[in-house]
Chains A and B, each alone.
Chain A
Amino acid sequence: MNTPTNLKYAASHEWARLEADGTVTIGITDHAQEALGDIVFLELPAVGRVVKAGEECAVVESVKAASDIYSPVSGEVVEANQAAADAPESVNADAYATWLFRIKPAAAAACATELGGLLGADAYAATL
């Protein structure tokens, strides 16, 4: 299973990447897209929405099932990936290139703690 080492992972199969500007980019893992099968619809959070870590904020629907996506960090949604929403199958093609949304944390320190609580690549891979 593909689990890049530069990302952090939630047990609920989201990945998170801290960007240079302090925002956090979020998507679903390769394992998640594989388990869901052909993805046909993404419901992404509205820009401006404030979410808490662990809050349900997107839905990924495959032919077979709908799956809730939880934000791994707290903050404000600053961008949703409209290109992904227009071509949901791109999540199947590359789950790490096809991010879903970006969060701007309210405080960098709190965000670092939340990210620190996530799994590294090996620890995540061990849960699969």
Chain B
Amino acid sequence: MPLRTPLYESHLAAGAKMVDFAGWDMPIHYGSQIEEHHAVRRDAGMFDVSHMCALDLAGADATRWLRRLLANDVAKLAVPGKALYSCMLDESAGVIDDLIVYFFTPEHYRIVVNAGTAEKDIAWMHAQLAGFAATLTQRRSGPDALAMIAVQGPKARENFWTAFPATRAATEPLGLFQAAETGGWLVARTGYTGEDGFEISLPAAAVGTAWQRLLEAGVKPCGLGARDTLRLEAGMNLYGQDMDEKITPYEAGLRWTVDLKDPARDFIGKSALTTRQPRNQFQGLLLLDRGVLRAHQKVITPLGEGETTSGSFSPSLNQSIALARLPEGIAPGSEVEVEIRDKRLKARVVKPSFVRNGKPLL
């Protein structure tokens, strides 16, 4: 029996085509994936992301534990509500998951992990908690379950305030990667689309009404299909596709998330990271010939072979794009070939960020 979020009935009512995603029955689109994509780039769209798993961390050792658990350093979080993106590594520096952690106090944090990896993550985290005075509580099911909606696009915040005027005072001053609690909701200026907007965590019982209010405020429901092309254009990794335990953050283009500034901090995977030589690098590809790039296609370069990890048609560029792992030394601007069926198509290597805030970056 597939799992359902509290918005399941709302999706059906909006005409969603439902598919299985990591064991969850989720909307892939509500008619046209491309229209939903454009809604987020040009106006405002919303995604049900309640399948992702929120965890509350509390205890005297919460900060000390996160500084051991994560490759990024929560010590840099000083303002309550500030969010941090990080990889959680295993001892060999492979990526167990990528996640967002929100700081409230040095004894209290919220962590949001991916849907498909939540059980694995929680088991790993519990094992690492031994010897630390901290407790971890999942908020995806049970009486305190949270639901999550991502409202994204240039008009996302305005439309959100139209739907919920009482939240405006607390959320208008929020900078990027900053969250505030208002009326029992956590509203964060974060997302996975390359556009401005909010991610809202709220009690599961309230989410049906909230979704309806956002619909009435003109926010278009968007499925996982558009979510994937939006994040691909933004050059964001999808865990399980662009990275996993076999890959280090350095090979996933996430060097910026590994914080080595404090030499005294010994996070899990640190020693392996400093000795393990990256085998390849993370780049973007723009297909010059006609066709559509997909994951796991062979890339032929003058310095050896690489592989695409995600690929699709970019609705914003009207051209196919991909994320790829390529041999070290292949720089943006190089031309390479991609094997698609029985053909070799030309592609240009580009920085893995194609579209931001509605504008092509190429």
Residues of A near any B CB (own CB < 8 A):
37-38, 40-41, 43, 59, 61, 63-64, 66
Contact = CB atoms under 8 A, between A and B. Distances in A.
Given A38-B34, A41-B313, A59-B341, A66 B294 contact: yes
B225 interface: yes
A66 B292 contact: yes
Interface of B: 28-29, 32-34, 225, 229, 290-292, 294, 312-313, 315, 320, 341
Nearest to B341: A59
Given A37-B225, A40-B313, A41-B313, A61 B292 contact: yes
Nearest to B29: A37
A64 B310 CA distance: 11
A63 B341 contact: no
Given A37-B225, A41-B313, A59-B341, A64 B291 contact: no
Contact of A64 (B33, B290, B341): B33
A41 B290 contact: yes
Contacts of B315: 63
B129 to A, nearest CB: 40
Contacts of B320: 41
Contacts of A38: 32-34
A126 B289 CA distance: 40
A66 B352 CA distance: 23
Query: Which among B229, B294, B313 has the greatest number of chain A C-beta atoms within 10 A?
Result: B313
Nearest to A61: B292
Nearest to A56: B341
A127 to B, nearest CB: 19
Given A41-B290, A41-B313, A64-B33, 6 more contacts: A37-B29, A37-B33, A38-B33, A40-B313, A61-B291, A66-B292
A63 B313 contact: yes
Contacts of B312: 63-64
Nearest to A92: B32
A64 B312 CA distance: 7
30 contacts: A37-B28, A37-B29, A37-B32, A37-B33, A37-B225, A38-B32, A38-B33, A38-B34, A40-B292, A40-B313, A41-B290, A41-B291, A41-B292, A41-B313, A41-B320, A43-B291, A61-B291, A61-B292, A61-B313, A63-B33, A63-B34, A63-B225, A63-B229, A63-B312, A63-B313, A63-B315, A64-B225, A64-B312, A66-B292, A66-B294
Contacts of A37: 28-29, 32-33, 225
Contacts of A66: 292, 294
A61 B290 CA distance: 11
A101 B28 CA distance: 30
A38 B36 CA distance: 11
A32 to B, nearest CB: 14
A91 to B, nearest CB: 13
Nearest to A34: B17
Contacts of B290: 41
Nearest to A89: B34
Query: Which among B33, B290, B291, B292 has the greatest number of chain A C-beta atoms within 10 A?
Result: B292
A30 to B, nearest CB: 15
A43 B343 CA distance: 11
Nearest to B19: A64
B354 to A, nearest CB: 15
List the 8 closest pairs (A to B, CB-CB), nearest first.
Answer: A40-B313, A61-B292, A38-B34, A63-B313, A41-B292, A63-B33, A38-B33, A37-B33
A63 B33 CA distance: 8
A5 B29 CA distance: 30
A43 B34 CA distance: 20
A120 to B, nearest CB: 27
B283 to A, nearest CB: 22
A64 B28 contact: yes
Contacts of A61: 291-292, 313
A79 B30 CA distance: 35
A59 B292 CA distance: 11
